[in-house]
């Protein structure tokens, strides 16, 4: 009886399959590009460009899916390209000679021919992202949604906040965190902003203590305020994690350039005070993608290097439950920007609503979400439960070794 098995079309897996059956090394080198199957999505292409693209792709043995009406009238259409790496190279060459914006399509597709090295350059140091990286959360607040605010704990135990933050950072680092994210202002739904002075009062002492004790750890500061970002940078912070994507304080750009900081650009609809008041989207993935593309373009034009940037689709920030679930299920679509994906899903309310559990019972839901995110290609996971997430990453890595 003949058995036919469908194989996953990942380049490394195909290579391993060929090695397993004893294919000659030269043969593997010749055949692997033909087995490297790729799918690309292009938004809002005009009908002239879409039809030319389809014909050029068909001539090469590739395929393009477009809206039916595109064939008979002038319209806009989203496009799906199905191609091998070999076909893609030839298609890029052909499109470069075509009108109707296809030269730009050619230029954008060309970026995917070279595999991006997954690294960030932060204050003269390199953060390797060849494996998913854990960012541990330390909330220097009274009112954290996750019920782990350091200030409340310090008040309860009559200890200094920096002492508790230092010990928590130590624990997270031992458990596998490569980044520690410090936030001194709550951004939970309907939270009220605090003054720059209050934010600095909460932030700087713990930041100093952690920087002094752990010189090799990368420190991220969750703020959108210039003065706070400035003092944090002066005290050794490596990353500015800005929920407004540098819209609230665009002058933070000067700090990112001066200190060679990393920057997380996050999508948020509204503000923490308004974001959960009936948020709606026609196409949540497309709207977030366009927003992030604009913010990345702004940063690049201002002189920030790509190796300093990360993007965050902003799960929970102005999204309904179904929006958050769709974002997780379509994380790979944000790879079009060719930047590391930074993701915060830990203990969030959409998990609570799916499972009908309170915040202290959301670990299993968090881990399930994290595993899906890893399989979708997320690079940095911002989490509360470092040990458990690290165990999930190690398990996935071990499984992947045995293809």
> Residue 187: pLDDT above 70?
yes
Q: Which of 85, 110, 135 is the last residue of a domain?
A: 110
**pLDDT computed for residue 6 by the predictor:** 52
> Residue 85: pLDDT above 90?
no
> Residue 174: pLDDT above 70?
yes
Which residue's structure tokens are 């043969």? Answer: 27
Q: Which of 56, 90, 110 is the last residue of a domain?
A: 110
| Domain contains 304 | yes
Of 389, 241, 386, the closest CA to residue 310 belongs to: 241
Q: What is the percent of the chain with per-residue pLDDT over 90, rounded to a whole number?
A: 65
Number of helical H runs and strand E runs in the chain = 15, 13
* 123 and 103, same domain (yes or no): no
User: Mean pLDDT, to the nearest integer, of 320-335?
Assistant: 94
| Domain contains 146 | yes
| Domain contains 125 | yes
**pLDDT computed for residue 275 by the predictor:** 74
| Structure confidence by residue, pLDDT tens digits, 259-314 | 999 999 999 998 888 878 888 899 999 999 999 999 999 999 999 999 999 999 99
103-107, 191-195, 296-300: range with highest mean pLDDT = 296-300
**pLDDT computed for residue 13 by the predictor:** 77
**CATH code assigned at 283:** 3.20.20.20
Q: What is the mean pLDDT of the chain?
A: 90
DSSP string, 130-199: SS-EEEEEEE-SS--TTS--HHHHHHHHT--HHHHHHHHHHHHHHHT-SEEEEE-S--STTPPP--HHHH
* 84 and 150, same domain (yes or no): no
**pLDDT computed for residue 253 by the predictor:** 98
Count the domains in the chain: 2
* 172 and 199, same domain (yes or no): yes
* 126 and 70, same domain (yes or no): no
* 192 and 237, same domain (yes or no): yes
* 106 and 133, same domain (yes or no): no
**pLDDT computed for residue 2 by the predictor:** 47
* 165 and 282, same domain (yes or no): yes
Phi, psi of 277, rounded to the nearest 5 degrees: -90, 90
| Domain contains 28 | no
* 78 and 161, same domain (yes or no): no
Neighbouring CB atoms inside 10 A of 92's CB total 18
- Half-sphere exposure of 354 toward its Cβ, with a 13 Å CA cutoff? 18
**pLDDT computed for residue 7 by the predictor:** 55
Of 342, 292, 326, the closest CA to residue 132 belongs to: 342
The confidence band for 403, taking pLDDT boundaries of 50, 70 and 90, is low
**CATH code assigned at 55:** 3.30.70
| Structure confidence by residue, pLDDT tens digits, 331-344 | 988 988 889 999 99
* 134 and 270, same domain (yes or no): yes
**pLDDT computed for residue 274 by the predictor:** 80
> Residue 222: pLDDT above 50?
yes
Q: Which of 74, 89, 110 is the last residue of a domain?
A: 110
Axis-axis angle for helices 25-35, 85-95 (nearest 10): 50
Given a contact cutoff of 8 angstroms between Cβ atoms, the answer to whether 84 and 37 are in contact is yes
| Domain contains 30 | no
Q: By residue range, what is the domain housing residue 55?
A: 36-110
* 196 and 331, same domain (yes or no): yes
pTM > 0.75: yes
* 101 and 154, same domain (yes or no): no
How far apart are the C-alpha atoms of 84 and 38, rounded to whole Å? Answer: 6
| Structure confidence by residue, pLDDT tens digits, 373-385 | 999 999 999 999 9
| Domain contains 320 | yes
100 vs 14: which has the higher pLDDT: 100
| Domain contains 11 | no
| Domain contains 12 | no
The region, left, alpha or beta by phi > 0 then psi within -120 to 50, assigned to residue 303 is left
> Residue 393: pLDDT above 60?
yes
| Structure confidence by residue, pLDDT tens digits, 122-160 | 999 999 999 999 999 999 987 666 667 777 777 777 888
Which residues have a catalytic role annotated? 348, 382
* 204 and 311, same domain (yes or no): yes
């Amino acid at each position: 009886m003949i058995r036919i098995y469908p194989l996953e079309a990942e380049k490394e897996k195909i290579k391993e399959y060929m090695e397993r059956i004893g294919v000659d090394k030269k043969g593997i080198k010749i055949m692997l590009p033909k087995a490297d199957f790729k799918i690309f999505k292009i938004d809002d292409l005009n009908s002239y460009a879409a039809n030319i693209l389809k014909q050029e792709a068909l001539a090469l043995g590739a395929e393009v899916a477009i809206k039916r009406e595109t064939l008979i009238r002038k319209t806009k259409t989203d496009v799906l390209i199905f191609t091998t790496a070999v076909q893609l190279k030839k298609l890029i060459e052909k499109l470069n000679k075509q009108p109707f914006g296809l030269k730009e399509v050619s230029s954008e597709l060309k970026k995917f021919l070279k595999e991006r090295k997954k690294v960030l350059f932060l204050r003269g140091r390199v953060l390797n992202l060849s494996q998913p990286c854990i960012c541990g959360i330390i909330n220097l607040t009274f009112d954290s949604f996750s019920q782990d605010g350091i200030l409340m704990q310090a008040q309860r135990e009559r200890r200094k906040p920096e002492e508790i933050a230092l010990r928590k950072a130590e624990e997270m680092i031992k458990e596998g965190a490569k980044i520690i994210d410090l936030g001194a202002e709550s951004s939970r739904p309907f939270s009220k902003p605090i003054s720059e002075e209050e934010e600095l009062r909460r932030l700087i002492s713990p930041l100093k203590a952690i920087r002094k004790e752990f010189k090799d750890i990368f420190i991220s500061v969750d703020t959108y305020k210039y003065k706070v970002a400035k003092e944090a940078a002066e005290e050794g912070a490596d990353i500015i994690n800005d929920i407004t994507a540098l819209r609230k304080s665009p002058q933070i750009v000067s700090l990112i350039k001066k200190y060679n900081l990393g920057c997380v650009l996050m999508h948020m609809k509204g503000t923490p005070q308004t974001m959960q008041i009936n948020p709606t989207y026609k196409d949540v993935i497309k709207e977030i993608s366009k927003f992030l593309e604009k913010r990345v373009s702004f940063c690049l034009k201002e002189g920030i290097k790509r190796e300093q940037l990360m993007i965050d689709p902003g799960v929970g920030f102005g999204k309904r439950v179904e929006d958050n679930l769709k974002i997780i299920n379509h994380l790979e679509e944000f790879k079009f920007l060719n930047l590391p994906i930074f993701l915060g899903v830990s203990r969030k309310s959409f998990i609570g609503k799916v499972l009908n559990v309170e915040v202290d019972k959301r670990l299993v839901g968090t881990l399930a979400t994290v595993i899906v995110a890893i399989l979708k290609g997320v690079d940095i996971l911002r989490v509360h439960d470092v040990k458990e997430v690290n165990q999930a990453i190690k398990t996935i890595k071990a499984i992947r070794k045995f293809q």
